[in-house]
Amino acid sequence: MRVLGIETTCDETAAAVVRLLPQGGGEILSSEILSQAARHAPYGGVVPEIASRAHVAALDRLVARALGRAGVSLADLDAVAAAAGPGLVGGVIVGLTAGKALALAAGKPFVAVNHLEAHALTPRLTDNLAFPYLLLLASGGHTQIVLVRGVGDHRRLGGTLDDAMGEAFDKTAKMLGLPYPGGPEIERRAAQGDPARFKLPRPMLGRPDANFSFSGLKTAVRQAIDALGTPSERDIADLCAGLQAAIVDVVVDRMRTALRQFRDGEGVPHAIVAAGGVAANGALRRALGRFAAEAGLGFVTPPPALCTDNGAMIAWAGIERRRLGAVDPLDFPPRARWPLDAGAPPLNGRA
């Protein structure tokens, strides 16, 4: 089975072709990604209208390049998959419409993919990981801990009550005057800093639920910046190190609580998994690896290039759904919000 995947939910335009391997897992035949970071950098964040127009301008040639580098034509595909949400709805519409058009023109099945589920299923593409597993899904717009029981079968164990983890990184970077995107820049500066210099809070630490809160941590960083006046390079490095250390401590504590809930209600997961753009952070990956080892579990996280948004994860989620016989109609709507666990109550007014 070979599937074309299209991703346009935020500020990466991406297309990829993935093949299902006989023994399970997948092979990425091609993966094309065009980052819009330079377009949004002057604004310190993603501008939806700019993102949508950039997707329109780039998507056709990325799809052509992905097909060419995979050595396949539309006729050779078994399905076309596109991210239908959640995300910036203007961007979602671009990729979703293109995917439908290609499927219709080629007479191929169309599969609408939940962008969050694509992140959640990526460890099965890279590592052929069996269900169930405990997932930390962390990105600029989403932070949640999810029990992944199967395709389309997810239970949220915890989520953020306010800001997402990626927002805490990006907004701190903006306050410090660091380049966009902020997360990788904070990680780079943190490597040179003293994480103990600033006494930053660890919100929600020790709480019996597995939820997160990052707004208070962000406020504490702002107050530290205000007290410094004009931060020096050393101040910036130490603040970045302190922020990163606080977030890592909180994540490990929240994952420990979620694992306890998992074991009480579901048994033992096959692994601890981290996915989403923030899962590319090296300090977080190392801490979660140690946590998993202490719990006697394996730790699986995709390579950094597959943690950030990409077309391969969309293609793989399409493969997973097609294996179960799923086909979606060509009037499938774009969704700005599309929670993984539809039965879970909202924590902060967002999916």
What's the chain's length in residues?
351
Mean predicted confidence (pLDDT) in 189-205: 96
Q: What's the one-letter identity of residue 9?
A: T
Question: What percent of the chain is predicted at pLDDT more than 90?
Answer: 89
The set of residues, in sequence order, having a beta carbon less than 8 Å from that of 28 and lying 6+ positions away, is 16, 17, 18, 125, 312
Contact (Cβ atoms closer than 8 angstroms) between residue 111 and residue 81:
yes
Could you tell me the domains of the chain?
Answer: 2-122+305-323 (3.30.420.40), 131-304 (3.30.420.40)
pLDDT reading at 349 higher than 60: no
Mean predicted confidence (pLDDT) in 114-138: 97
Name the pLDDT band for 348 (thresholds 50, 70, 90).
low
pLDDT reading at 109 higher than 90: yes
Contact (Cβ atoms closer than 8 angstroms) between residue 10 and residue 140:
yes
Contact (Cβ atoms closer than 8 angstroms) between residue 88 and residue 48:
yes
Query: Hey, what are 54's tokens?
Result: 């950039």
Cis status of the peptide bond prior to 203, with omega within 30 of 0: no
Alpha carbons 344 and 351: distance in angstroms, whole number: 9
pLDDT reading at 350 higher than 80: no
Closest alpha carbon to 241 in 196, 277, 205? 196
The set of residues, in sequence order, having a beta carbon less than 8 Å from that of 182 and lying 6+ positions away, is 169, 170, 171, 172, 173, 174
Mean predicted confidence (pLDDT) in 279-286: 95
Name the pLDDT band for 351 (thresholds 50, 70, 90).
very low
Sheet holding 110-114, edge to edge: 26-35, 12-20, 2-7, 79-85, 110-114
pLDDT reading at 317 higher than 80: yes
Give CA angle at 334 (331, 335), nearest 5°.
135
The whole-chain average pLDDT of the chain stands at: 95
pLDDT reading at 135 higher than 70: yes
Mean predicted confidence (pLDDT) in 54-61: 97
pLDDT reading at 103 higher than 80: yes
Alpha carbons 114 and 67: distance in angstroms, whole number: 22
pLDDT reading at 321 higher than 50: yes
Tell me the three state secondary structure of residue 142. Answer: coil
Alpha carbons 121 and 143: distance in angstroms, whole number: 16
Of 180 and 306, the structure prediction assigns the larger pLDDT to 306
Contact (Cβ atoms closer than 8 angstroms) between residue 80 and residue 111:
yes
Query: What CA–CA distances, in Å, run from 301 to 29, 125, 313?
Result: 20, 11, 13
